[in-house]
Amino acid sequence: MKRFDMITEAEARVLAPGSTIELAPGGHITPLAQDTLRELRITVVRGGGVDEASARELAPVADIRSVIVGSDHTGVALRQAIVAHLRGQGLAVQEVGPEKSSTPADYPEIAGAVGVAVARKDVDAGIVIDGAGLGSAMAANKIAGIRAAMCTTPTLARYAREHNGANVLSLGATLLTTDAALAIVDVWRTTPMSAEPRYLNRLANIKRLEERSR
């Protein structure tokens, strides 16, 4: 991790988008550099601790208005029900996956497409669906910046958003009825992440783990 005593706008411009940098204790960031760091989604760690403003940038969109929903062949019917449900609530919804359950599809490819769209901020959030929801969560979490949570109850959905900042929801089509899945989706979509620093700081810690593994 690169360490700075002072960060100017010129120095901020040459940093890799989405990276994490360290600011020495007592260090300074110029106002223009702050804007550039925010634009490039760069996390600043101050003297061993996470800069609160940078950590807030990692929080998922609180008011979700656009969603991408993807499924493999086992989740086609549930995906279509969720898409109709969300569109009925006025959301902009994209779909990824086969049109028929008789058309085989590999969940890693679908989950990856959903994860990339969310990571690029093309949409506010994503939902992935396969038989159990486990594989899609694993695949989506391979995309940097994605925090996918497999939820089987509304309570888990609330915690996933409120405490863990999940920006992708994973569902198991064989484990849930349509009504149960829609209840989970509604709680997950309408629950914002807590603004408590301890939760925000953990998002920065997750990001640092991603960077160490590259």
- β-pairing, 43-46 with 20-29? parallel
Q: Name beta bridge partners: 170.
A: 128, 150
* Distance (Å, whole) CA 74 – CA 98: 10
94-146 pLDDT tens trace: 999 999 999 999 999 999 999 999 999 999 999 999 999 999 999 999 999 99
Under 8 Å between Cβ of 116 and 143: yes
* Distance separating alpha carbons of residues 120 and 15, to the nearest angstrom: 18
Confidence of residue 52 (pLDDT cuts 50, 70, 90): low
Q: Is the distance from CB of 173 to CB of 31 less than 8 angstroms?
A: no
Choose among 161, 151, 102, 144: nearest CA to 128: 151
pTM above 0.75, yes or no: yes
* Residue 51 pLDDT greater than 70, yes or no: no
Mean pLDDT of 160-176: 97
Residue 116: per-residue pLDDT = 97
pLDDT band at 46 (very low <50, low <70, confident <90, very high): low
Q: Closest Cα to residue 111, out of 164, 35, 190, 168?
A: 168
Element housing 9 (H / E): helix 9-13
pLDDT tens, position by position, 58-94: 889 999 999 999 999 999 999 999 999 999 999 999 9
Does residue 187 or residue 210 have the better pLDDT? 187
Domains and CATH numbers, the chain: 2-59+195-212 (no CATH), 66-190 (3.40.1400.10)
For residues 139 and 111, the answer to whether their CB atoms sit within 8 Å is yes
